[in-house]
Amino acid sequence: MAFKMAGWGGYQKDPSSFTKETNYLDDKQNPPKPPKDEGPKGKMGSEYRKAEYDKRGWKYDDTIAGYNRDGTKIEAPAPPKPKSKAQVKTEKVVKKGDDKKAKIAAKAAVKTGEVTENVDRKSARIAKRAARKEHGRDSKEFLEAKGKHLETKETDRQGGKGGRKQSIVRKASSKINKKRQEKNKAKLDAKNAE
């Protein structure tokens, strides 16, 4: 119970018991500081702040509503003409129609690209088969047609002309196709060297 009466550090209520070094009641030792002249106390943009600026003779800045940083008055832009309900509805309908047209055009471009890729791939396959029948498997013409077919297959798989990309096993298929292209190129180079 001793701490309740005297406090933790033995605090005594009698101020005369303070020593000279710790006597904070002595005004001569620690004179009170004069209050600082701070800036305006009003909120930014408030009338109170504007009145303070007027009282102090300061130039207005952007903290006063309606004035720029350099103190010039802001010119209010002309308010826009109100639109009728019919105009608003018409604009919404036109915007919605334009959005739909853009979506359809994007889908059409993808479909067109896909068809182009498919046609190229199929025509290259037909040319490869024709070269094989006409010239044989080991001929230079067949190897060139096979190389072209492998390239168009890869273009179709990757969506090279704007079509859809193959989604499920595109990486594995591409890896296999690249190996086939390398083998075919090596055979073709050997034929050209002969």
Mean local confidence (pLDDT), 146-172: 87
* Predicted local confidence at residue 1, as pLDDT: 45
Mean local confidence (pLDDT), 175-194: 91
Asked if residue 135 has pLDDT above 70, the reply is yes
Task: Summarize pLDDT for 2-47 with one digit per residue, the tens.
Answer: 445 555 555 555 555 545 455 455 555 666 666 666 777 778 878 8
Nearest of 128, 125, 100, 117 to residue 163 by alpha carbon: 117
Task: Summarize pLDDT for 42-67 with one digit per residue, the tens.
Answer: 788 788 888 888 888 888 888 888 88
End-to-end CA distance of the chain: 112
Asked if residue 190 has pLDDT above 50, the reply is yes
HEC string for 132-176: HHHHCCCCHHHHHHHHHHHHHHHHHHHCCCCCCCCCCCHHHHHHH
Q: CA dist 36 to 30, 32, 40, 59, Å?
A: 17, 12, 12, 21
* Predicted local confidence at residue 9, as pLDDT: 54
**Which residue has 């072209």 as its token pair?**
148
Average pLDDT value for the chain: 81
Mean local confidence (pLDDT), 65-84: 81
- Per domain, the residue ranges of the chain are 41-73, 110-193
% of the chain residues with pLDDT over 90? 35
